[in-house]
Structure 1
Amino acid sequence: MRTYREKRDFGRTAEPSGGAPSETGDVFVIQKHAARRLHYDLRLELDGVMLSWAIPKGPSFDTKQRRLAVRTEDHPLDYAGFEGIIPKGEYGGGAMIVWDRGRWTCAGDPRAQLDEGHLRFTLEGEKVHGRWHLLRTKGFDDADGNGKGESWLFFKGKDEHVDPSRDLVNERPESIVSGKTIEDLQADG
């Protein structure tokens, strides 16, 4: 969390600085984030923080689509509900919506799987369902060991929710919290 806090000026941004764990400890969120480049942030609650990956193209229901997922710093748990505008000039400046949210479960010990570089899990959200994988590729940790720059692949596991014909990110661009799109939020200023 130190890296997260060092990158932000909480006097300028409405982003949360930290909060209490959820009662169940299994929250996930996917936030659509129009920073320098549009991307989706996958966050999984584990050990009192939200583990985070930036996914440039967002999730796909096609098992053959491997999406780049770059590990970013852990975020506070209350970030799972953050929707708004991060001021220009601040780290991650731009509009962010809560694109999907729900519960996640891991097939096995998530800590051991993260160490091994292959996390196998299930997401049950409003938009995204079923089995998913995060597979670490050759990447690197920074000096703090927080995974900055660490590359993973995010992809759909085989189950009844597989549907290569669906383009979920374009089919359902709106926030599950406000019903707004990124463009609506930007227009509201």
Structure 2
Amino acid sequence: MSLNKYNQKRNFNSTAEPEGEIKKSSTELIFVVQKHAASHLHYDFRLELDGVLKSWAIPKGPSMNPADKRLAIMVEDHPYDYKDFEGTIPEGNYGAGNVIVWDNGTYALADTDDVEDIENKLKSDLQEGHLGFILNGKKLKGEFALVKLKIKQKNAWLLIKKKDQYASDDDVLQQDKSVISNVTLESLEK
């Protein structure tokens, strides 16, 4: 895993974003969803894998409704320390705009709790273009899948909620406060 692309896109003298270093959780794998008001509002969905955060930009945000298939564009890996990043990325910088941690928690696979087994399976699944996992977040819970689309745009995926006890028609995006600071993106902008 490389953070070269992440580091090349940022000027750390003018942004508070963390510099790219490979790190890992000590026990369970983490996920984070950041609400990001850049040139377009979107949600950044990140899964810890192999010392980095694999990242997808989701324009419409995640959904708890299995009928919703949300476009997820895979972007560059982010460093593990990005999991707590909230604040303003100044104008003139890549991704300029405000960011909050909309959701976070841990994730696993249905058939194993061993982190090394999970990572090996997910690396293989990532290559095949189909990842299935269980989220244990404050807002997102239950089984989800990321499925790579077979179209010209090679980094296009879908984030899909699976039918389980947590599936719901309720709009989870209405829960709009940060799980770290309890602020909304709109109040951060002010």
- Which secondary structure state, in structure 2, belongs to the residue aligned with residue 179 of structure 1? coil
Partners of 1:153 and 1:81 in 2: CA distance: 25
Change in CA separation of 1:28 and 1:162 when aligned onto 2, cut-off 3 Å? same
1:135 equivalenced with 2:147 (yes/no): yes
Structure 2 counterpart of 1:123: 135
User: Given the alignment of the two structures, is residue 4 of structure 1 paired with residue 6 of structure 2, yes or no?
Assistant: yes
The alignment's TM-score, normalised by the length of structure 1, stands at 0.90
Structure 1 residue ranges without an equivalent (≥5): 142-148
User: Among 22, 40, 51, which residue is 1:48 paired with?
Assistant: 51
For 1:21, what is the secondary structure of its paired residue?
coil
Q: How far is the alpha carbon of 1:106 from its aligned partner?
A: 2.8
1:146 maps to which residue?
none
Provide the TM-score with structure 2 as the length reference: 0.90
Q: Which amino acid aligns with 1:134?
A: L
CA contact (8 A) 1:113 1:119 kept: yes
1:117, distance to aligned residue in structure 2 (A): 0.6
Map of 1:60 onto structure 2: 63
Which residue among 142, 152, 157 is the counterpart of 1:152? 157
- Quote the offset at 1:140 in angstroms: 6.1
Asked if the contact 2:7/2:20 (under 8 Å) is kept, the reply is no
| Contact 1:82–1:97 under 8 Å retained in 2 | yes
Contact 1:25/1:45 (CA < 8 Å) preserved in 2?
Answer: no
User: Where do 5+ consecutive residues of structure 2 fail to align?
Assistant: 111-117
Match 1:162 to one of 145, 167, 172: 167
Shift of 1:25: 5.1
User: What SS does the corresponding residue of 1:5 show, helix, strand or coil?
Assistant: helix
Letter in 1 for 2:172: L
Cα RMSD (Å)? 1.4
Higher mean alpha-carbon deviation, 27-36 vs 10-19, is at 10-19
Shift >6 Å, 4+ stretches: none
2:134 equivalent to 1:111 = no
Query: In 2 relative to 1, CA 140–49 (structure 1 residues): closer, same or farther, beyond 3 Å?
Result: farther
Match 1:94 to one of 94, 97, 104: 97
Aligned-residue sequence identity (percent) comes to 48
Report the Cα distance in structure 1 between the residues aligned to 2:48 and 2:75, rounded to whole angstroms. 14
SS at match of 1:121: strand
For these two proteins, the number of residue pairs brought into alignment is 178
Q: CA deviation at 1:122?
A: 0.5
SS in 1 for 2:125: helix
